[in-house]
Amino acid sequence: MNRLLLMFCIITVFIKSVYAQDTVKTNPIIFGEGFIGGPIAGLSGIYIGLNANYQLKNNLFSFRISTIPDFDSRIISPFIPFPYFIDNGHADEYSLLYGLRSIKNNHSFSFSVGASYNYRLINTYDDQDQLLTQNKYNYAGLPFELNVKWFKNNKSRYRIYYFFPVGKPTGFGRSFGLKLSGNISKYSYVAFGLVGGLGYHKHY
């Protein structure tokens, strides 16, 4: 989780640095995004992560960091309604991806593949939920992702909380969409979820 916070800070600084470039006639296509979802094959848990993206012509270059924490819930007794949770471990991924991104008006479609470093922690417990073993694995993988996203079509004033316009008309804005992603590796998975971003999503 600390790695995700660090990545979020890096993306925020990165986006702010290009926000000042809006005075040029054609802005770069550069944006950060966060996503959340769940694996639909392979691993179990919650799928969360961050992407930093740069597009040159139709070529999309991305850095992705993600984690899949896995927890089980336990009931103390039938008379106590509050459960407690068992940490089964997690799967972390650091990926560099290359792909193609097509833009039409206010939406885009992209597909990317790449290479990744992966870390997997697996915890096992006895019948009393006492930790027995911790197994750690480091391995390479083949990450991939497919995105469909929507964003504003023309320059407009940025709106704080969607209601309060500030500054002059700008190409800087939000995006929302769907992400199908995964990794082919020792512990393969496929995940599906929602994605939201900030930055310049097209040439304005």
Cβ-Cβ contacts under 8 Å for 179 (sequence gap 6 or more) = 35, 37, 145, 146, 147, 191, 192, 193, 194, 195
pLDDT digits (tens, 9 = 90+) for 125-156: 998 888 999 999 999 999 999 999 999 999 88
From the first residue on, what is the mean pLDDT of each consecutive set of 10 residues in the chain (204 residues)?
61 55 70 96 94 97 97 78 86 98 96 98 90 96 98 87 80 95 97 97 93
The angle subtended at Cα 130 by Cα 125 and Cα 136, nearest 5°, is: 50
Looking at the structure, give the CATH architecture of the domain made up of residues 2-200.
Beta Barrel (2.40)
- The domain locations on the chain are 2-200
